[in-house]
Structure 1
Amino acid sequence: MKARRWIALGIGAFVLIFSFITTISFALQTYTQGTALSGGEQTVVREGNTSGQIALLEISGPIINSGEEGFFASGGYNHQSFLNGLNAVMTDRQVEGIIISVDSPGGGVLESAEIHRLVEEAQSVHEKPVFVSMGGMAASGGYYIAAPAERIFAHPQTLTGSIGVIMSSINVSELLENIGVEENVYKSGPYKDILSPTREPLEEEDEIIQAIVDEYYQEFVDIIADGRGMDEDRVRELGDGRIYTGRQALEEGLIDDLGSIDDVIDEMQAHLGANYQVVTSQVNQGFGGLFGMTVDRLFGDTELKMDFNQPRPLYMYNYE
């Protein structure tokens, strides 16, 4: 009897503690998303003239909207938080310029387009220069979001480029046949199960998917042609999917200069004509960033893995 009582008390205590932490997590996340970039706590990266600021934002990892929020967020790249942060700094009167540090193999077509749109808006509507500092990798979607920036910097060892679109699926029909598994599909139209992994694609389906890839690729080409002032044929010549080092990208006109993040800050201050202080303006991820690693180990990062396994168009290098 005593053992049951202690077990019940233990379960009750666990539920109470879990509920308390979850509530605090959601509350903190809501607060930080609403205030951290517009008057909330900021970290000064470089001291300087406090009459203005240079906002430093960071994109690290695949540019994928995993939908992770709150307590179970893994603490990695959070797409909505980044969009909130970029929106906040470009409308903040204290911010004079924006630097985006990119270390990413790329990501989703939609996500890349959303960031690209805001980078353009920051410069054309709010008249705030945007510089991009490339880290170890800024490929495919990582380059897509950099293309409209006023200036792009990379390390000599940066891997960039990978201009193009990829969309794939796995065909396991022979494997299923060998082990005696058959799928029954009931669909409302002939292409409702397009890219199904359990059958060979139809010729018409190949044409449908290729048309989608071609459309997104044309958009990518237009983005670079417009952002870099290049001829479309030249962009297509460079945009065959290959990657470039920072030095090669400079020679081909895909970036403007070589340098570290400190060099980029120096260039931004010189461009603005003032030694403005530099502050990080990334949204705080709340408790999720602290506990996400443990949660992933316990339950597995299933949501992101499932997202990658869905057939979808990607501006991505080494997407597997």
Structure 2
Amino acid sequence: MNTKRWIALIVAAALLGISLVINSAFAVLQSDFTSGFNDWMGTEQTGLGEQVIETGDASNRIAVLTVDGAIQDTGDASLFAAAGYNHDLFMEQLEAVKADDSVQGVVLNVNSPGGGVVESAQIHDKITEIQEETGKPLYVSMGSMAASGGYYISAPAEKIFVNEETLTGSIGVIMQSVNYGELAERYGVDFVTIKSGPYKDIMSPTREMTEDERALLQEMLDSSYEQFVDVIEQGRDMTEAEVKEYADGRIMNGRQAVEANLADDFGYEEDVIQAMRDDFNLNGEVFEYGVSNDWTSLFAMKAGSFFGMDMETKLIADMLTQNSGPRMMYLYGDN
């Protein structure tokens, strides 16, 4: 490994250590301050601010939520990258919508290539729980992309709105890994693996997969695929045959989605809000939950600039901070 790579590795490791210290300290300080403030005010801790988009009746409101980016539970933001989609925060927002009696309708903006099977299912289940237990309607406004897991979380909506050029569909499940065993052998790298069972290193990047292993994984993916199909059947009131006509992983634009009954109409966010107002006679306030004032997210941008992180450094940082093990994904594209 050359000098540049050693420097990149040292910088990434140092940033990881600093990030852990700052995140821990900030979490403690934020928790103590918020708890004390709420005790003084006599209010419960929610941690969610609100930003009004349109004024109106405060007892008859529409909440606008947003899923932007890959749907993955990556934990707290690190210093290596500005915060993107925050799974815990979004689940907290859904819980707040459910508990707030002043919220009479929800508009969900989806701009996502999909993501984790588990995270997508969590969002879907919470949305259906809100609908069934509170009767609050939910409309989806799809952005430039709402594919795979992005469609999975949209399926329960009373109505789905797209743009003609929205990329959606990609109904299916994928699991990927990289096999660099032959390359390693060429450079004389020998991998030593000690395992407790024949399948413990399944999808190992250092050897070819056996047919038995492939069959085991295919069975898992087929089960998740059928769950995806069921979600669309229930959400879109379609038969299994109607769903599977398009559930082959294909991507489609908004016009094709409407023709396939996977979406209802065309419109941007403001059109979706107006449609909800008209359909449910809601003349109240429209709001969204405020953006978290996350110090680590701000520091992330500054850290990258300060250290001049190039692509190689970023890749090393990603290796240090992310679990790169294979996992089932409702995901479109190379993300």
Q: TM-score range by the shorter chain?
A: 0.7 to 0.9
Alignment of 1:207 onto 2:207: no
Partner Cα separation in structure 2 for residue 49 and residue 230 of structure 1: 37
For residue 64 of structure 2, the aligned residue among 42, 56, 62 is 56
Alignment check: 8 A CA contact 1:59 1:104 kept: yes
Q: CA RMSD in A?
A: 2.6
Alignment of 1:65 onto 2:73: yes
Partner Cα separation in structure 2 for residue 192 and residue 254 of structure 1: 40
For residue 326 of structure 2, the aligned residue among 308, 311, 314 is 311
* Corresponding position of 2:121: 113
**Stretch deviating more after TM superposition (169-178 or 141-150):** 169-178
Alignment check: 8 A CA contact 2:61 2:282 kept: no
* CA pair 275-217 structure 1, distance change in 2 beyond 3 A: same
- Gap runs ≥5 in structure 2: 1-19, 36-43, 308-312
Partner Cα separation in structure 2 for residue 19 and residue 242 of structure 1: 44
Shift of 1:304: 7.8
The residue matched to 2:160 in structure 1 has which SS? strand
- Equivalence map 1:151-162=2 (5 Å): 151-162=159-170
* CA pair 105-20 structure 1, distance change in 2 beyond 3 A: closer
Alignment of 1:246 onto 2:257: no
Partner Cα separation in structure 2 for residue 311 and residue 103 of structure 1: 24
* CA pair 226-146 structure 1, distance change in 2 beyond 3 A: same
Shift of 1:309: 3.4
* Corresponding position of 1:4: none
Alignment check: 8 A CA contact 2:73 2:88 kept: yes
For residue 79 of structure 1, the aligned residue among 84, 87, 99 is 87
Q: What TM-score do you get using the length of structure 2 for normalisation?
A: 0.82
* CA pair 285-304 structure 1, distance change in 2 beyond 3 A: farther
- Equivalence map 1:137-156=2 (5 Å): 137-156=145-164
- Equivalence map 1:267-278=2 (5 Å): 267-278=275-286
The residue matched to 1:35 in structure 2 has which SS? coil
- Gap runs ≥5 in structure 1: 1-17
Partner Cα separation in structure 2 for residue 122 and residue 283 of structure 1: 23
Alignment of 1:217 onto 2:229: no
- Equivalence map 1:120-131=2 (5 Å): 120-131=128-139
Instruction: Give the aligned residue type for 1:105.
Output: P
Identity percentage over the alignment? 44
Alignment check: 8 A CA contact 1:71 1:287 kept: no
* Corresponding position of 1:166: 174
How many residues align structurally? Answer: 300
* CA pair 209-49 structure 1, distance change in 2 beyond 3 A: same
Alignment check: 8 A CA contact 1:133 1:260 kept: yes
Instruction: Give the aligned residue type for 1:157.
Output: E
Partner Cα separation in structure 2 for residue 180 and residue 249 of structure 1: 51
Shift of 1:49: 2.1
* CA pair 209-24 structure 1, distance change in 2 beyond 3 A: closer
- Equivalence map 1:188-207=2 (5 Å): 188-207=196-215
Shift of 1:143: 0.2
Shift of 1:136: 0.5
